[in-house]
Amino acid sequence: MKVAIVYDSKTGKTRRAAEEMAAMVRDAGHEYSVHPVQEADPAEVAAADAICIGSWTQGLMLILQHATQATIDFIDLLSPLHGKPAAVFCTYLVATGKMLPKMADRLRARGADVTGQFKVRGPMAAKSFGEWVRTLEKGG
């Protein structure tokens, strides 16, 4: 399987989280790509077997949290995903509100089967991300 990881990071935490996720994907025997949303090619990402999209949390700390506009715009650019497995993730400081379910809905609107939602309060992969990786078939 090839897993495409795309992230938006302002100060580097989401980038480091995405890179750690990429290492977990690699260690599980899959191929991966990892790109900032500003450089990712929507056609290449849509062609992967599984997709992970992450953003830093933008909002008023306790309320109105959302993914960045660049993240949302990127999701909307993806061609139909025909039930491909997908996950959304974010890094945050205080609270994420409905940000992850909203990202998941947006990705579902592109046809993805969103089976993972992960949040971390720092520059690392969520521990439970490994379980999501294990749901992907090897070599598929």
Ligand X SMILES: Cc1cc2nc3c(=O)[nH]c(=O)nc-3n(C[C@H](O)[C@H](O)[C@H](O)COP(=O)(O)O)c2cc1C
Span from 27-35, 53-61, 80-88, 101-109 in contact with ligand X (CB under 6 A): 53-61
Find the binder of ligand X among 20, 58, 113, 130 (CB under 6 A): 58
Asked if residue 12 binds ligand X (CB under 6 A), the reply is yes
Find the binder of ligand X among 23, 43, 47, 61 (CB under 6 A): 61
Asked if residue 14 binds ligand X (CB under 6 A), the reply is yes
Find the binder of ligand X among 74, 75, 81, 91 (CB under 6 A): 91
Question: Amino acid identity, residue 93?
Answer: L
Asked if residue 38 binds ligand X (CB under 6 A), the reply is no
Shortest distance (Å) from residue 74 CB to ligand X: 15
Query: b/e for 64-98, b at 16 or more Cβ within 10 A?
Result: ebbbbeebbebbeebeebeebbbbbbbbbeeebbe
Find the binder of ligand X among 94, 105, 134, 135 (CB under 6 A): 94
How big is the site for ligand X, counted in residues (CB under 6 A)? 19
Comparing every residue's Cβ against ligand X, the nearest one is 59
Binding positions for ligand X, rule: CB under 6 A? 9-15, 56-61, 65, 91-95
